[in-house]
Amino acid sequence: MLGKKYLMLALILGSISTTSFGFTLKNPTKTEKKIVQVSKEDTEKNLYQEIGLAGKLDYDVFKTALNGYNKIERKKDLLTIIDYSKPSTEKRFFVIDMKQKKILVNSHVSHGKNSGGNIATSFSNKVSSNKSSLGFFLTENTYMGGNGYSLVLNGLEEGINDKAKERYIVIHGADYANPKMAKSLGRLGRSLGCPALPRDISKKTIDMIKNGSVIFAYGNDTNYLERSSYV
């Protein structure tokens, strides 16, 4: 009888294998699949809470960013999220240390002048559109250009943001990205499509995320969500 109990326990344990999200089951039933999915969802929500994003960044935006981040080969455990669904008068630029589970930077950021007023509602991958681009990027090298110290972005999504280099879409500092501008204009000043940061934090932030970290730019655009292979 005792031998049968041990055999049963061995069979149960043999059907379970661990993953980064708790556990998975070999040949799971529909009910078991649901249990595994709940476990993954719980892990993502716990991470969201641990990082301290509640009340600052919508969970669904974080989840979308996390899905892509986990698919991208990168050199740094940093995830930058730009939430263009928020108005420019709010802090919508986040640099997150995924290993330490903490926010390193939370700042204002400008969007392209043809993307909208206080909120960006229109996005493009076209040269001279003067609009912001959505999607996933990898950071590359820095250089001194017309906007000062700047960070090259490699758009990873074909037809969505892959013309970022051709369009000179880079991260740089700008006086018009200072939140004090919003007090008189009702919004930040706007760029030609670049995510421009306040000058007092731009260099430090650029040096932090340069050379191989992931950036995700999100906006209220269902067309992007349907087209992206990373979401």
Instruction: Using alpha carbons, list the distances in angstroms from residue 32 to 12, 15, 16, 21, 23.
Output: 13, 11, 11, 14, 11
Same domain for 22 and 95, yes or no, is no
The total of structural domains in the chain comes to 2
Alpha-carbon gap, residue 226 to 231, rounded angstroms = 8
Same domain for 143 and 220, yes or no, is yes
The pLDDT, as a whole number, for residue 35 is 53
Same domain for 174 and 204, yes or no, is yes
Same domain for 180 and 198, yes or no, is yes
The pLDDT, as a whole number, for residue 6 is 44
Confidence of residue 17 (pLDDT cuts 50, 70, 90): very low
Q: Percent of the chain, pLDDT > 70?
A: 84
The pLDDT, as a whole number, for residue 2 is 44
Q: Each residue of 67-118: pLDDT tens digit?
A: 999 999 999 999 999 999 999 999 999 999 999 999 999 999 999 999 999 9
Alpha-carbon gap, residue 101 to 67, rounded angstroms = 16
The pLDDT, as a whole number, for residue 15 is 46
Question: Where in the sequence is the domain holding 38, given as residue range(s)?
Answer: 1-51
Pick the residue with more confidence: 140 or 17? 140
Same domain for 38 and 78, yes or no, is no
Same domain for 122 and 193, yes or no, is yes
Alpha-carbon gap, residue 152 to 143, rounded angstroms = 8
Q: What DSSP designation does 191 have? A: B
Tokens of 81: 């999220």
Same domain for 108 and 167, yes or no, is yes
The pairing of strands 148-155 and 135-145 is: antiparallel
Confidence of residue 9 (pLDDT cuts 50, 70, 90): very low
Give the domain CATH number at 82. Answer: 2.40.440.10
Element (H, E) at 28: none
Element (H, E) at 34: helix 30-51
Confidence of residue 31 (pLDDT cuts 50, 70, 90): low
For residue 226, is pLDDT > 90?
yes
Same domain for 75 and 158, yes or no, is yes
Instruction: Using alpha carbons, list the distances in angstroms from residue 197 to 165, 177, 202.
Output: 18, 6, 6
Q: What is the mean pLDDT of residues 204-222?
A: 97
What's the count of helices (H) and strands (E) in the chain, helices before strands? 6, 10
Same domain for 163 and 217, yes or no, is yes
Same domain for 29 and 134, yes or no, is no
Pick the residue with more confidence: 62 or 222? 62
The last residue of one of the domains, among 32, 51, 70, is 51
The pLDDT, as a whole number, for residue 38 is 62
Same domain for 68 and 177, yes or no, is yes
